Amino acid sequence: MSFEKRTCEISGLEIEKNSESMIKLNMATAIIFFAIGGAAGLLVLLTRWPAIHLLPVEWYYRWLTAHGLLALLVWIIFFEVALVHFGSVTLLKSRLAVPILSKITYGLMLGGTLLVVVMVLGGQADVLFTSYVPLQAHPLYYLGIILFAVGSLIAFIHFFINAVVAKKEGEYKRTLPMVSFGIMAASIIGIMSIAHGAAIYIPTFLWSLGIIETIDPSAYRLVWWGLGHTSQQINVCMMVACWYGIAAFLFKAKPASEKLCRSAFVLYILFINVASEHHLLVDPVFSTWHKIVNTSYVMHLAVLASMIHAFAVPASIEMGLRKQGYNNGLFEWLKKAPWGNPAFSATFISIVLFGFLGGTTGVIFGTEQFSIIRHNTWAITGHFHGTVVAGTTIAFMGMAYFLIPVFFKRDLIMPGVAKLQPFVYGTGITILSITMMAAGTFGVPRRHWDYNFSDAPFGYQFDSTVDIFMGLVGIGGLIAVVGGAMFVFVTLGSIFKGNKRA
């Protein structure tokens, strides 16, 4: 079928017009919310840093809620919607099947986000990211979340509509290309995740309106983590798809065994949902048998998938570079890799940090014996900054550096800053993540405005070593904020002011 498209001179990709405008819109929106979420993170950081302790208590929890929502959900999912379009239209050389659906998606997600932000910063939703009942927010907060979720659900469903249309029109033969396959796995998990979100947020919305009398807190926690953790696996799948994508675009690299890598995506789909039980290891309601099956067995099948990808992607990059002639010794390919290209450096940093910071600690903390000690300490925050920030966010940064010239037809501004940015951000997040985990090991609580509990009837004095870690978290966080600002400056600057290509 004929449709309006152009051929990108940088990548050789055929870009269809309708999907192009939606990819641009979602990507730019994602970066704007990354900037706001990052600024919220800075306020939280400067409050948890004992030497500064910036915000009063109410505002601390509001900005913390906003930081969680904007950085963990909004930035990431807007970017993922751009990737859904990229994987189901551009990579399949196809067309956007139902353009109006993309516009509805965007409208619902943006409207939902604005509603949530207004409610949170207006002091109507001091319930933190998990919004555990019986804490209750204003009904419009829950409505905002539901609108955002419905918007992203439509985007994930749209992936399949696009893929079916492409197949019918003969754009691909047997199966989806590797990157699209990863995005398809993410879309399946996305639908699963949002089904859990609907199952818990709709009753909670009705409860906030007074239509339902009570929500069982343990049922809430169980179903909410079907959303809360499963949605993180959308991020992991999308991140891995970006790794494969950058390896393929820059080096024409293919995994040694595509079948194995595709099977690893299937492991995510099958096992990650039940593995979300590790959030509930200290919950008294669920049986020990239930917890052990989920966290000592099932979780490791999902972890196995990440290990397969984490080795398959560097191996494919190595094979690609060896084919280009970098064959001396074990590591010439790594030394001669294009470290000055931020799309590559961000991808490689994401792989290494996700493995060492997020992956190892996730397995350790998800073990029942350790979880009981680490639960609700700052170590958990350190862990997920190693996964979602050091892993997903840095991988998306790399992808943004690749996609901006392709879709916006503009060169990156200040290439020197772009070149340094993944290293600065990666260094900051590494220091932040490790020192958060170190402080958490001493029992420093996550989320808490005043970790010394100075106004409590029974105060508590931590070991003085903790003060060093608290200060180092602040320093690491500031370096990360500088790296984040560099990313926003370069990407938004390039989108609006970069030199135009023909």
Q: Give the C-alpha separation, 122 to 141, whole Å.
A: 11
Q: How far is CA 320 from the centre of its chain?
A: 27
Q: Give the C-alpha separation, 315 to 101, whole Å.
A: 38
Asked if 217 contacts 134 with a C-beta cutoff of 8 angstroms, the reply is: yes
State the amino acid at position 458 in one-letter form: F
Q: At what angle do helices 394-408 and 415-441 cross, to 10 degrees?
A: 160
Q: Give the C-alpha separation, 383 to 377, whole Å.
A: 11
Residues in the chain: 502
Q: Does 330 bind other proteins (CB under 8 A)?
A: yes
Report the residue from 139, 245, 314, 484 that binds other proteins according to the rule CB under 8 A. 314
Q: Is the dihedral of CA 469, 471, 475, 478 positive or negative?
A: positive
Report the residue from 356, 423, 453, 489 that binds other proteins according to the rule CB under 8 A. 356
> Is the CB of 88 or the CB of 361 nearer to other proteins?
361
> Is the CB of 1 or the CB of 372 nearer to other proteins?
372
Report the residue from 324, 331, 467, 501 that binds other proteins according to the rule CB under 8 A. 331
> Is the CB of 376 or the CB of 441 nearer to other proteins?
441
Q: Does 224 bind other proteins (CB under 8 A)?
A: no
Tokens of 342: 């931020």
Q: How far is CA 179 from the centre of its chain?
A: 17
Q: Does 339 bind other proteins (CB under 8 A)?
A: no
- Considering only 40-48, 263-271, 326-334, 414-422, which stretch makes contact with other proteins by CB under 8 A? 326-334
Report the site for other proteins in 430-459 (rule: CB under 8 A).
Answer: 441-442
| Cβ at position 387, least distance to other proteins in Å | 15
Q: Does 124 bind other proteins (CB under 8 A)?
A: no
| Cβ at position 29, least distance to other proteins in Å | 36
Tokens of 188: 């399946």
- Considering only 7-15, 312-320, 415-423, 444-452, which stretch makes contact with other proteins by CB under 8 A? 312-320
> Is the CB of 219 or the CB of 315 nearer to other proteins?
315
> Is the CB of 366 or the CB of 498 nearer to other proteins?
366
Provide the 8-state DSSP code for 500: B
| Cβ at position 157, least distance to other proteins in Å | 37
Q: Give the C-alpha separation, 35 to 388, whole Å.
A: 16
Report the residue from 360, 376, 427, 452 that binds other proteins according to the rule CB under 8 A. 360
- Considering only 50-58, 198-206, 358-366, 405-413, which stretch makes contact with other proteins by CB under 8 A? 358-366
Q: Does 318 bind other proteins (CB under 8 A)?
A: yes
> Is the CB of 363 or the CB of 488 nearer to other proteins?
363
Burial of 4 (0-12, 13-18, 19+ CB in 10 A): exposed
Question: 248 vs 6, 144, 153, 355, 389, CA distance in Å?
Answer: 21, 38, 28, 21, 23
Report the site for other proteins in 151-210 (rule: CB under 8 A).
Answer: none
Burial of 327 (0-12, 13-18, 19+ CB in 10 A): exposed
Report the site for other proteins in 462-481 (rule: CB under 8 A).
Answer: 463
Tokens of 232: 């993180």
Q: Does 364 bind other proteins (CB under 8 A)?
A: yes
Tokens of 447: 């989320």
Q: Does 103 bind other proteins (CB under 8 A)?
A: no
- Considering only 85-93, 130-138, 216-224, 357-365, which stretch makes contact with other proteins by CB under 8 A? 357-365
Q: Does 259 bind other proteins (CB under 8 A)?
A: no
> Is the CB of 364 or the CB of 482 nearer to other proteins?
364
Tokens of 444: 């420093």
| Cβ at position 332, least distance to other proteins in Å | 8
Q: At 324, phi and psi to the nearest 5?
A: -80, 0
Report the residue from 60, 251, 333, 451 that binds other proteins according to the rule CB under 8 A. 333
Q: Does 382 bind other proteins (CB under 8 A)?
A: no
> Torsion angle of alpha carbons 56, 62, 67, 68, nearest 10°?
130
> Is the CB of 311 or the CB of 453 nearer to other proteins?
311
- Considering only 32-40, 134-142, 331-339, 413-421, which stretch makes contact with other proteins by CB under 8 A? 331-339
> Is the CB of 295 or the CB of 491 nearer to other proteins?
295
Q: Is the dihedral of CA 277, 69, 307, 432 positive or negative?
A: negative
Question: 151 vs 71, 103, 307, CA distance in Å?
Answer: 18, 9, 32
- Considering only 157-165, 328-336, 394-402, 450-458, which stretch makes contact with other proteins by CB under 8 A? 328-336
Q: Which of 66, 65, 101 is nearest to 81 (CA)?
A: 101
- Considering only 65-73, 113-121, 235-243, 360-368, which stretch makes contact with other proteins by CB under 8 A? 360-368
| Cβ at position 318, least distance to other proteins in Å | 4
Q: Give the C-alpha separation, 301 to 282, whole Å.
A: 22
Which residues are bridge partners to 445 per DSSP? Answer: 377
Q: Give the C-alpha separation, 258 to 280, whole Å.
A: 35
User: Helix, strand, or coil here: 262?
Assistant: helix
Residue count at the site for other proteins (CB under 8 A)?
A: 24
Q: Residue numbers of the site for other proteins (CB under 8 A)? A: 256, 310-311, 314-316, 318-319, 322, 330-331, 333-334, 355-356, 360-361, 363-364, 370, 373, 441-442, 463
